[in-house]
Amino acid sequence: MFRVTLDGIIMVYVVIILCSVFFSWLAAEVFRRGKESRRRKHFVVCAICDQLYEDRSSEELSDCPKCGARNERERVSDI
């Protein structure tokens, strides 16, 4: 047998808890970014009036609801 001190047991429990919290946070962040990426592919920015609007159709060109211009689908990026 090997000796286990109270300090060693407490340290193991703290490390296990911290690792589980870290990996839970990491999984939540990955899922959030994936969901946000899927949501962002439906947004279109008008090249004429700079209006941001959502178009869920699968067409390559969409009409701006504000000025009526035809816009190509591009990925909306964060500033």
Query: Mind listing the pLDDT tens digit for each residue in 27-75?
Result: 999 999 888 777 777 788 888 898 888 888 878 888 899 998 888 877 6
Q: Do 45 and 76 touch, CB atoms closer than 8 A?
A: yes
Does the pTM of the predicted model rise above 0.75?
no
User: Which two tokens mark 30?
Assistant: 């990955």
pLDDT digits (tens, 9 = 90+) for 5-21: 999 999 999 999 999 99
Q: Do 4 and 17 touch, CB atoms closer than 8 A?
A: no
With cut-offs at 50, 70 and 90, classify the pLDDT of residue 77.
low
